[in-house]
Structure 1
Amino acid sequence: MNKRDMIDMALRNLWKRRLRTALTVLGVVIGTASIVVMVSIGIGMNKGFASQLENWGSLQVIDVYPSGGMEYDKETDSMKQTKKQDELNAKAVENFRQMEHVQAVSPVLEDYLYLTAGKYMADASFIGIEPGAMTALGYQVEDGRALSEEDSKAIVIGGGVEFYNPKLSWEMRNASEPPQVDVLNEKLGVTWDWSYGTRDADKTIKPVKVDAVGKMSADGNNGWTVIMPIRELEKIQKEKQAWEQKQNGGSSNGNRQKSKEYQRVMVKVDEMEHVQQVQQKIKDMGFRATSLTDELEAMKETTRMLRLVLGAIGAISMVVAAISITNTMVMAIYERTKEIGIMKVIGASLKDIKGLFLTEAAFIGFSGGIIGIIVSYGASFLVNFVAQRQGSTMQSAIPIWLALGGIAFSTAVGVIAGYLPAKRAMKLSALMAIKTE
């Protein structure tokens, strides 16, 4: 019996008992849909976590800090002292650039300064980076453009930075709406004089003129920050330190800048799956390294048990469906005993008889899997719709591999469930089977 004849006969046998076949397929549909939907919720939760963390920054960026501090050790579940090796300086930055899978590297300077716009001012956290690496490091611009290699006096402002009139009291500022400043078309300056614009302002401090070339979203971790070229921020810090030195009678606290050791270095990895690998290499060099993937892994760990429970619930439905397939195939053998005997008498091999019943069982699993995946997509859409209406972060996501895996799994369950009935059909005596009415 060739493959085509076997498939044709299997389909005709299933169609003869279409009600029973439909009910058995329904069991597979429920089992497949249960597993896929339950697993998709777990996948959706992980995607939701990743989406939330992306508002804080890029998941492919590693923050590197000078060595000599304390860090968490997963193996011992405790804090341990990091070993002191190289300084986090230009040499270390160049070593990071030479690492495999590293796409971009930038030292980072941070300071709390003030923006000036005419009679208004705004306080913000200033971050100095290599301007050409801004986009690669995950800083997304909503209006205007990002910094480029040619920029020196350019800045990009977070949408949450608010200006105010320094001549007004705190009570008046809080009671009135903040002034609307078109930063992309306004002449701006940077100063460290917190009393700028008032009678107490230090006339010796001249704001450094800058041009805003872009704005970031007010949402997320960078809504209240200002990004500027690191070399320009270094100049401002030197001027600030010189001013502080005069104010303090000649003393200065700029030891870190004198040693040319950076406060932080950002390392962009080409793919998220390589982040932990690169991060561990940096730690092995003696530096402290953290990334948002650490937070993501912790979130995934907390939901792992929930995902196992959801998968187990779906698996129970599939076990019931497998029992239903086995029952259907056993009943088919009892009803077709004489037919099996005739097939053996006219020359059908045991392999053909076994293949026929396994093909019927496979078709039940396959068709149930196809319909189950369709139902799963509908259920997934419904879950996402209800979650969105209620403002919940829960969501369902069915990637293509899960859909194909669901169909393959249901087909395999059908074949496995039909194996014992097929073996039983093979063992039937041809003479006894023909005598059976």
Structure 2
Amino acid sequence: MSFKDQIAFVRQHIRRNRLRVFMTVLAATMGTAFLIVLASVGFGLQKTIKDDILSNQMVTQIEVYSEDMTDAKTDAMKKIGHVETVVHRKQLVPMALGELEGHTGSMNTYFTDFKDEQASGFKLAEGRFPEKPGEVIVGSQFAEQLIDESKELEEGEELATYEGKVIGQTFTFSFEGRNDENASAAWPFTIVGVKEAPGKDWAFDGYLYLDESFMEEMESAYAAASKDRSEEEDMPFTNSQVNVYADDLANVKSITQALKDDGYAVYSVSEEIEQIDVFFLALKAGLIFVGTIAILIASIGIFNTMTMAVTERTREIGVMKALGAGPKLIQRLFLMESAWIGLVGTVIAVVISYGVSFAANAVLPIIVDAALGGETGDSFEVTFSVIPWQLVLIASAISLTVAMISGWRPARKATKTDVIGALRHEL
């Protein structure tokens, strides 16, 4: 029997039992679709969490912690393989004030090397990087912390915040509580750049970024003004914050390990993502296992359908054997039929799964937002379902394998049919 005749034989039986085959295909479709949609929730949640992490941080950034960080140590870090640059920021510990056009505010200050900052991907919303002494960069919310306290307020009136354009403006920097006869003169700085706003609305960036060349001068002035204040003798002038930047995300892990080997406490987004991947790998495996149970339940329908097919076609099997058909050919015919049921069910299930996934991602955020009274706002972005091609392959392989196994036993039964008994059989 040619392959074309084998296909015709299978199609003939399927047309003869349309309703039963349809219900069996429907069961296979539901089982496979349930597996894909269920597992896609794990992929969707993983994507949501990873995207949130990557949107909050630079993926190539490695934070390094040490109580005795020095410039020599950061220079040594630059020599580690695949390190793009190292940014060593010194955060000012003493409180400082800034005054701009009658508005004052606390200055959260960093001393840094702007060449290293540029190499790390430091982005400006407007303006440029400092080119001359006395030029500085400020955070995106710098102006919001400058308040006019000179006016007397009436009842219910609030302090006025600075609303002008800061680019090109010159402000006065001084240490809080040091503007007396013992204090050194204040420093004038001109704002030439504004840092790009953080990715999240809740993140606040009102920092002042000074060139590190000013640190020694300011530290000396502060020490002279504070020499009679014993309570501040042990307070450091700055705290170090070191960020190492890899040339590629793929090299973050190796650099992180090298820094750990040198005795540093480090944190990188790759470690967090790795932990998340391990957790979701276990979750997705569990969801696929649960979904496979649904396919196994559907396999009962395939088994029953194929068993009925063997019983109904006993005479046909007897005729084929009498004409010289071997056991392998008969077995192949019934396995082809069970495989057809599994294949059609899988294809329909994949189409349905993508439709359900698209609908879930479009509708569920709206439903959740409505249920919470619209409190989530525009920042509520959750991907409930993602169907990667790997999941489709896994689900298809499971579905087809289960379908073939379900049809194997009835197919084996067909090969053992007695020819004489089959020819006498009447359904």
Shorter-chain TM-score: what band? 0.7 to 0.9
Instruction: Tell me by how many angstroms 1:364 deviates.
Output: 1.3
Counterpart CA distance in 2 for 1:287 and 1:87 is: 15
Query: For structure 1, which runs of at least 5 residues remain unmatched after alignment?
Result: 69-83
Work out which of the residue numbers 85, 90, 97 in structure 2 matches 1:105: 85
Query: For structure 2, which runs of at least 5 residues remain unmatched after alignment?
Result: 370-379
Please give the residue correspondences for 1:3-402 in structure 2 after superposition, counting only pairs within 5 Å. 3-66=3-66, 89-96=73-80, 98-99=81-82, 102=83, 104-112=84-92, 117-123=100-106, 125-127=108-110, 131=114, 137=120, 143-144=125-126, 153=135, 155=137, 157-159=139-141, 162-168=144-150, 175-176=158-159, 178-183=161-166, 185-189=167-171, 191-194=173-176, 204-217=185-198, 219=200, 223-226=204-207, 228=209, 232-249=210-227, 263-268=241-246, 270-271=248-249, 275-298=252-275, 307=284, 309-389=286-366, 390-391=368-369, 393=382, 395-402=384-391
Say if 1:156 and 1:227, in contact at 8 Å, map to a contact too.
yes
Say if 1:160 and 1:219, in contact at 8 Å, map to a contact too.
no
Larger radius of gyration: 2
Instruction: Tell me by how many angstroms 1:27 deviates.
Output: 1.2
Judging changes above 3 Å, is the alpha-carbon distance between structure 1 residues 366 and 218 closer, same or farther for their aligned structure 2 residues? closer
Cα offsets for 1:381-429 (capped at 9, x unmatched):
3332343121474621112222333233322222222222222222223
Counterpart CA distance in 2 for 1:363 and 1:170 is: 85
Identical amino acids, percent of aligned pairs: 24
Instruction: Tell me by how many angstroms 1:211 deviates.
Output: 0.5
Say if 1:116 and 1:189, in contact at 8 Å, map to a contact too.
yes
Instruction: Tell me by how many angstroms 1:109 deviates.
Output: 0.5
Say if 2:302 and 2:338, in contact at 8 Å, map to a contact too.
yes
Q: How many residues align?
A: 406
Instruction: Tell me by how many angstroms 1:164 deviates.
Output: 2.2
Judging changes above 3 Å, is the alpha-carbon distance between structure 1 residues 286 and 217 closer, same or farther for their aligned structure 2 residues? closer
Say if 1:256 and 1:262, in contact at 8 Å, map to a contact too.
no
Say if 2:112 and 2:212, in contact at 8 Å, map to a contact too.
no
Instruction: Tell me by how many angstroms 1:317 deviates.
Output: 1.0
State yes or no: 1:419 paired with 2:399. Answer: no
Instruction: Tell me by how many angstroms 1:291 deviates.
Output: 1.7
| Root mean square deviation, CA, Å | 4.1
Judging changes above 3 Å, is the alpha-carbon distance between structure 1 residues 368 and 247 closer, same or farther for their aligned structure 2 residues? same
Q: Which amino acid aligns with 1:210?
A: I
Instruction: Tell me by how many angstroms 1:237 deviates.
Output: 2.1
Residue aligned with 2:91, SS: strand
Residue aligned with 1:58, SS: coil
Say if 1:37 and 1:376, in contact at 8 Å, map to a contact too.
yes
Say if 2:317 and 2:414, in contact at 8 Å, map to a contact too.
yes
Q: Report the TM-score, using the length of structure 1 for normalisation.
A: 0.77
Instruction: Tell me by how many angstroms 1:241 deviates.
Output: 0.8
Judging changes above 3 Å, is the alpha-carbon distance between structure 1 residues 226 and 256 closer, same or farther for their aligned structure 2 residues? closer
Q: Report the TM-score, using the length of structure 2 for normalisation.
A: 0.78
Q: Which amino acid aligns with 2:77?
A: V
Counterpart CA distance in 1 for 2:87 and 2:184 is: 32
